Amino acid sequence: MKYYIVTYGCQMNVHESEKIAGILERLGYSEGTCREEADIIVFNTCAIREGAEDRVFGNVGNLKRLKKKNKNLIIAVCGCMTQKEQTAKKLMDTFPFLDIVIGTFNVPKLGYYIEQVKKGRQLELLEEGDIDEVLPYKRTSGENAWVNIMQGCNNFCTYCIVPYVKGREKSRNEENILKEIKEIISEGKYKKITLLGQNVNSYGHDLTPAIPFSKLLHDICALEGEFTLSFMTSHPKDLTDDVIDAIAKEDKIEKYIHLPAQSGSNRILKLMNRKYTREKYIEIINKIREKIPNCRITSDFIVGFPTESEEEFEETYSLVETVRYDSIFAFMYSPREGTVASKMEGQIEDEVKNERVNKLLSLEKKIQKEDNKR
């Protein structure tokens, strides 16, 4: 029996697909090279941008002929996109040949659902549950091993759908994280370990007793073995001095921080509900550069947020000029149904957003060229 997994979205989804592969291989499936030879096809979806959802609908629709040819083919859709009840229902209504539509929290039970489908059931399940502590993995990222330390988000940025599909922040027990990392080290084939979470800096606040993220970093670095440790993603409001100190002190931690700014305008940051100011953000950057002079810093930016003026975009442009990031990811604001920002007045025209994002990316290239030359 063969499986084929299609993954959309972030590194956390890549790691989620490693879990799905692990579950399927325990059931006796092996990885296929194409959809045509698969006995089960799994779409692991993303809800961050509308374009990702459109691609899922298009790709699922293309499987109708395969399903006609092979009645025993199982087609499953899971992940962030299907955690939204309205989207899950739309998928089931549009594609009645789908066998399984499950949300983020149902993935650990995928094996059970497959057995139910083989007995003739069609399944649509959108539960909320606890973070999975122990699941089999088939690691697929070369010399890098992903380790999920938490899931969910409490920040509710007004443009972001994540808290609605991933739920509130839930941290894994430190003991289980350390056990997983010890197993990774013992395998001897992974040079890098990357900790994952929507907001890793918030790790441990929900545990009893609470465990600071900095303690987790120190405890991992105390493990014997040769490896480099990194993490993503950090929220500026939660990047504390003790975390910066841990990165500076521990030789095993990669000197790299991804710190999404999103905007350089205080008014837009407030509308985004980011809970920090431009001045506070620059203060954090200065601390990083003071304590870790060789630290690489990257960032995310959203241009064309509702009501963003040309002057406010220029504030973002000047922030990039001031910080001189090693690289940035710049996106045009995309309304996501169900978020606060999607209902805001003053939506910006696509033409203006496109012009601004290209201007910001051109600045990034200019800075990189100057830095490379130096």
Q: Using one digit for the tens of pLDDT, what is the confidence trace for 55-100?
A: 889 889 889 999 999 989 999 999 888 888 788 888 988 999 999 9
Could you tell me the pLDDT band of residue 305, with boundaries at 50, 70 and 90? very high
Q: Which two tokens stand for residue 366?
A: 């200019």
pTM listed for this prediction? 0.84
Give the pLDDT of residue 129.
56
Better pLDDT: 142 or 229: 229
Could you tell me the pLDDT band of residue 208, with boundaries at 50, 70 and 90? very high
CA distances to 27, 95, 282, 324, 348 from 318, rounded to whole Å, are 54, 48, 12, 10, 20
- Report the alpha-carbon angle 193-151-95, nearest 5: 110
Task: Provide the 10 A C-beta neighbour count for residue 262.
Answer: 24
Q: Is the pLDDT of residue 110 over 60?
A: yes
Rounded to whole angstroms, the Cα distance separating 157 from 80 reads 17
Residue found by looking up tokens 């089931």 in the block: 92
Give the pLDDT of residue 214.
97
What stretches of the chain show up as alpha helix (H) in DSSP?
11-26, 50-61, 64-69, 85-94, 110-118, 162-166, 174-187, 213-221, 241-249, 266-272, 278-291, 310-323, 350-373
Could you tell me the pLDDT band of residue 368, with boundaries at 50, 70 and 90? very high
Q: Is the pLDDT of residue 263 over 90?
A: yes
Rounded to whole angstroms, the Cα distance separating 30 from 3 reads 6
Give the pLDDT of residue 146.
92
Could you tell me the pLDDT band of residue 256, with boundaries at 50, 70 and 90? very high
Domains of the chain, first to last: 2-125 (3.40.50.12160), 141-254 (3.30.750.210), 257-374 (3.30.750.200)
Give the pLDDT of residue 126.
63
